[in-house]
Amino acid sequence: MAENTTQTSGAPKDENTLGIFSAKAAAAAVNAQTSSRTMWGDAWKRLKRNKLAVIGIIWIGIVIVVALTADLWVPGTLGNPTETDSATMAQNSRLAPSPDHPFGTDTLGRDVLCRVIYGSRISLAVGVLATAISTMLGLIMGALAAYYGGIWDTIIMRLADIFLAFPYTLFVIAMLAVIGPGIQNVFIAIGILGWPSIARVFRSAILTVKENDYVDAARAMGASDARIIARHIFPNSVAVIVVYATMNIGSAILTEAALSFLGMGVQAPNPSWGIMIQDGATYLATQPWLMIMPGLAILTTVLAFTLLGDGLRDALDVKMKDA
Amino acid sequence: MFEKKTRVQMHLKDQPVPEGEHLLEVDDLKMYFHTQDGVVKAVDGVSYTLDRGETLGVVGESGSGKSVTHLTIMGLIDMPPGRIEGGDVRYRGQSLLKMSEEQMQDIRGNDIAMIFQDPMTSLNPVYTIGRQLGEGMRLHRGYSKDEALKRSIELLDMVGIPNPEQRVKDYPHQFSGGMRQRVMIAMALACDPDILIADEPTTALDVTIQAQIIELMREMQKKNGNAIVMITHDLGVVADVADKIMVMYAGHPVEFGTADEIFYNSTHPYTWGLIRSIPDPVMTEKHPLTPIKGNPPSLVTLPSGCAFSPRCPYATDKCRSERPGRIMVGPNHYSCCHYALDKDFVTKNAPKTSRTKPAVKAAAQAEKGGEA
């Protein structure tokens, strides 16, 4: 009992309480030696214990690595995702999955796996960039609304309400109709139209955190507004944002697929998963792999982001540390 | 060494208190909240002075303006809805109310520190104890991370946290309530403040821990010579610690005097009510615990006359129609009761228990007097 030796020098009036505390303190001391002492380090430990989240991370990792390295090995083995060789197109059209073409080929004789792999680049890019745009906008708007309150809060939150009152996909389609289809515009449309929900989540997170006594305590200690936002409010609400943004990546991928399916998003011959499903839909009865393969890609990737988001939500909850 | 990053060159607390000034002087402070329901006169004419080494007990029920008074002094009230309607607060002769927010940020934590009521929520859950303890020192003294951590360990040791080298790396949720309040005290004392405002520091704690925390604050005061403002609703808590006691009711001080004057010669029926509400270990059927009946009045629509008159068992027509002013009972002892100087009224109605105690505590009192 290390505690007993220090207590005499500490506070002589403490014998009773320390007796009660010592078991807890000892447990905490053991804990102290085994765990890294940062919020993210602890969160990572807890995340690793969540099997589903680990599966999500692994799958996202595989998708990212494959997408990033595709140029190095895909053209040599699976061919080009967009160009068609008119000479061999006829005999290569809509082949069933085989060792040569694991996912089969499409109407124009292109390898489906190759297109799914290149499609992942578009999906990931849209997911991450659109989420980045909407998160940034949402954070700024949410912070303005929550911290300054009053008229700012009213204007921003009513604006968010108006945005949320429109059916999301229709709104995106309408915006794309104005600014035109194409991959950059998909980023912009999904990104810009996604801010209201993030702003709402962040605003309520700030409002909750702002009411905490430790914010008052920090003010009473002489901390400035900027310091309070950066050191006390942001770290306590960042967990919510990280979780929300992670899940938002999944839904941005879905939205992009839907838009491309409808012909409003990425344009052919670019290999978007949505376009591939659209192309394959005609042959669902006879050559189902044309639709199933990109569909599976969407399903697994979106699911992986959702699982990771769920895991992060649990992992970032500081109070669950000892669970 | 620690001047390199300090924002303000002139530290008020390093300078001597100017002649004729007090460490802290609150002069007829008025803070009203302008709400939809009307004007809430949360602080309505509070005055007191405080010098180094002194302890002021501020006693009153919830909503009597104890906390708001001191949050106003710290400049922590949101304005609007709050507004200072008059009066002044001078710290070492300088008006705190006239200072800019930046100057106040230098005062807060460095010169005047505050301990909040609930230690369970006053610590930021995402930072280790050490980091939070060090924040004030890094802010006001420009300590480096390592220096702050080292000092944090010393502070934890000082407030009686066992095994401070290990515990400094723990998160708040790994501490119990009493230990967290010790941490809060260490945090408040980190920059050797002149004045420590403790807002009900023991209310959220176990009774067994309460005495320890009070004792700890006293010890620290002895060591550092700081002044303490102890805000509480429990007259028993400040009984032994406070030099002066201010009894507040409905935003207004109703009686002010030394601890002994308040305990043994109080002349205000509200103070009597508070004294009667202190549980007594020898309580019997003959000496029951007597509550003050009713609730504090709404601060928007104060009763005419004495604010306490609706609940006062001795209220007369005069009490209900005329607001009593300060009636000096002793050189530094005043009471806001029309009948404060009516000896018969006071002897007849003042709580008997407090009148019998001086004999028992005479020795302790003499010793205390000798110290001062």
Contact yes or no for A222 and B136 at CB 8 A:
yes
Residues of B in contact with A21 (CB under 8 A): 162, 176, 179
Q: How far apart are CA A125 and CA A53, in angstroms?
A: 21
Mean pLDDT of A103-115: 85
Q: Are strands B24-35 and B82-91 parallel, antiparallel or unpaired?
A: antiparallel
Interface test with B, best of A221, A236, A240, A241 (most B CBs within 10 A): A221
DSSP string, A233-244: IHHHHHHHHHHH
Backbone angles phi, psi at B253, to 5 degrees: -70, 125
- Report field, pTM of the whole predicted structure over 0.95: no
**Burial classification of residue A150, based on how many CB atoms lie within 10 Å of its CB (0-12 exposed, 13-18 middle, 19 or more buried):** exposed
Q: How confident is the model at residue A26 (pLDDT cuts 50, 70, 90)?
A: very low
Q: Is B319 left (phi over 0), alpha (psi -120 to 50) or beta?
A: alpha
pLDDT tier for residue A220 given thresholds of 50, 70 and 90: confident
Neighbours of A229 (CB within 10 A): 19
Residue B113 near residue B147, CB atoms below 8 Å? no
Asked whether residue A18 carries a pLDDT value surpassing 80, the answer given is no
The confidence score (pLDDT) of residue B266 equals 84
Interface contact flag, A222 B110, Cβ < 8 Å? yes
Tell me which amino acid residue B74 is.
Answer: M
Tally the C-alpha atoms within 13 A of residue A194's C-alpha that lie toward its C-beta.
Answer: 29
pLDDT digits (tens, 9 = 90+) for B80-139: 788 888 888 888 888 888 888 888 888 888 888 888 888 888 888 888 888 888 888 888
Put simply, whether B207 touches A (Cβ < 8 Å) is no
Handedness of CA A248, A251, A256, A262 (dihedral sign): negative
pLDDT band at B282 (very low <50, low <70, confident <90, very high): low
Q: Which runs of consecutive H residues, i.e. helices, occur in chain B?
A: 66-74, 101-107, 129-141, 145-158, 164-167, 177-189, 207-224, 235-238, 259-264, 269-276, 317-321, 343-349, 352-371
Is 50 exceeded by the pLDDT of residue A7? no
How far is residue A5 CA from its own chain's centroid? Answer: 50
Q: What's the pLDDT score for residue A66?
A: 92
- Please list every residue in chain B whose beta carbon sits closer than 8 Å to the beta carbon of residue A29: 163, 166
Q: How far apart are CA B313 and CA B339, in angstroms?
A: 13
> Is the Cβ–Cβ distance between B179 and B162 less than 8 Å?
no
Selected residues 160-189 of chain B with any CB under 8 Å from a CB in chain A: 160-164, 166-167, 169-171, 173-174, 176, 178-179, 184, 187
CA dist B181 and A222 (Å) reads 19
**Residue A31 contacts by C-beta under 8 Å, 6 or more apart in sequence?**
A322, B174
* pLDDT for B209: 77
Q: Which of B114, B128, B162 sits opposite A6 (nearest CB)?
A: B162
Kindly compute the dihedral angle of the four CA atoms of residues A237, A239, A241, A245, in this order, to the nearest 10 degrees. 180
Residue A318 three-state SS: helix
Assess contact for B189 and B132: CB atoms under 8 A.
Answer: no
Q: Which residues contact B296 (CB under 8 A, 6 or more apart)?
A: B61, B62, B63, B64, B249, B250
Integer Cα distance of B295 and A105 in angstroms:
82
Closest chain B residue to the Cα of A319, Cα to Cα: B173
Q: What is the mean pLDDT of residues B353-368?
A: 48
CA distance A280 to A226: 54
pLDDT value for A53:
92
- CB neighbourhood size of B219 (10 A): 15
Mean pLDDT of the B12-18 span: 72
The answer to whether the CB atoms of A11 and B126 lie below 8 A apart is no
Residue in chain B closest to A212 (alpha carbons) equals B121
Is there a contact between B176 and A21 if contact means CB atoms under 8 Å apart?
yes
CB contact (8 A) between residue A236 and residue B171: no
Q: Which residue of B has its CA nearest to A41?
A: B126
**CB-based contact A89:A109 (threshold 8 Å):** yes
Mean pLDDT computed over every residue of chain A? 81
Q: Nearest chain B residue to A6 by CA: give it.
A: B162
Distances (CA, A) of A242 to A56, A64, A198: 15, 19, 11
B173 vs A318: CB contact, 8 Å cut-off?
yes
Please state, in angstroms and rounded to a whole number, the distance separating the CA atoms of residues B133 and B152: 6
What is the three-state SS of A26-49? HHHHHHHHHCCCCHHHHHHHHHHC
List all residues of chain B from 274 to 333 with a beta carbon under 8 Å from chain A. none
Choose the closest CB to A216 out of B76, B109, B216.
Answer: B76
B96 DSSP 8-state letter: S
Answer yes or no: are the C-beta atoms of B232 and B59 closer than 8 Å. yes
Q: Which of A13, A213, A233, A236 to mutate to test the interface with B (most CBs of B within 10 A)?
A: A213
Instruction: Name which of B208, B217, B209 is nearest B178 in CA terms.
Output: B209
Closest CB to A37 among B140, B169, B212: B169
The torsion angles phi and psi of B208, rounded to 5 degrees, stand at: -65, -30
Buried b (16+ CB within 10 A) or exposed e, B40-74: bbbbbbbbbbbebebbbbbbbbebbbbbbbbbbbb
Which distant-in-sequence residues (6+ apart) come within 8 Å of B237 by Cβ? B57, B202, B210, B214, B230
Give A247 to chain B, closest Cα distance, Å: 23
Contacts of A222 in chain B (CB under 8 A): 104-110, 136, 139-140
Q: Which of B126, B157, B179 sits opposite A39 (nearest CB)?
A: B126
Indicate yes or no: CB of B173 within 8 angstroms of CB of A219.
no
B116 touches chain A (CB under 8 A): yes
Distance CA A264, CA A273 (A): 13
R_g of chain A, CA atoms, integer Å: 26
Percent of chain B with pLDDT over 90: 3
Chain A residue numbers with beta carbons less than 8 Å from the beta carbon of B184 are 217
pLDDT band at B316 (very low <50, low <70, confident <90, very high): confident
Element (H, E) at B90: strand B82-91
Integer Cα distance of B231 and B67 in angstroms: 7
Instruction: Check if the beta carbon of residue A34 is closer than 8 Å to that of residue A12.
Output: no
Contact B108, B75 (CB under 8 A): yes
Cβ contacts from A onto B, under 8 A: 124
Testing the interface with A: which of B163, B184, B218 to mutate, by most A Cβ within 10 A? B163
pLDDT given at position B134: 87
Chain A contact present for B128, CB below 8 A: yes
Q: What is the ipTM of this complex?
A: 0.74
| CB contact B125 to A (< 8 Å) | yes
Cα–Cα distance measured from residue B83 to residue B319, given in angstroms and rounded to the nearest whole number: 29
A33-37, A122-126, A277-281: the lowest-pLDDT one: A33-37
Q: Does residue B364 have a pLDDT over 60? A: no
What pLDDT was estimated at residue A37? Answer: 55
Report the C-alpha gap between A53 and A311 in whole angstroms.
5
Cis amide bond preceding A269, omega within 30? yes
Which helix (H) or strand (E) element contains residue B334? strand B333-335
Would the CB atoms of B116 and A6 count as touching at under 8 Å? no
More confident call, B254 vs B158? B254
CA–CA distance, A271 with A250 (Å, rounded to integer): 18
Q: How far is B116 from chain A (nearest CA, A)?
A: 7
Residue B157 has pLDDT above 90, yes or no: no
- pLDDT for position B65: 85
Chain A CB contacts of B80 below 8 Å: none
Q: Cβ contact (<8 Å) for B160 and A11?
A: yes
Q: CB–CB of A44/A51 below 8 Å?
A: no
Please tell me which residue of chain B has the smallest CA distance to A222: B105
Best B161, B191, B215 residue to mutate vs chain A (most A CBs within 10 Å): B161
pLDDT tens-digit readout, A115-131: 899 999 989 999 999 99
Instruction: Give the Cα separation of A282 and A272 in Å (integer).
Output: 17
Q: Does B80 touch chain A (CB under 8 A)?
A: no
CA distance A53 to chain B (A): 22
DSSP state of B7: S
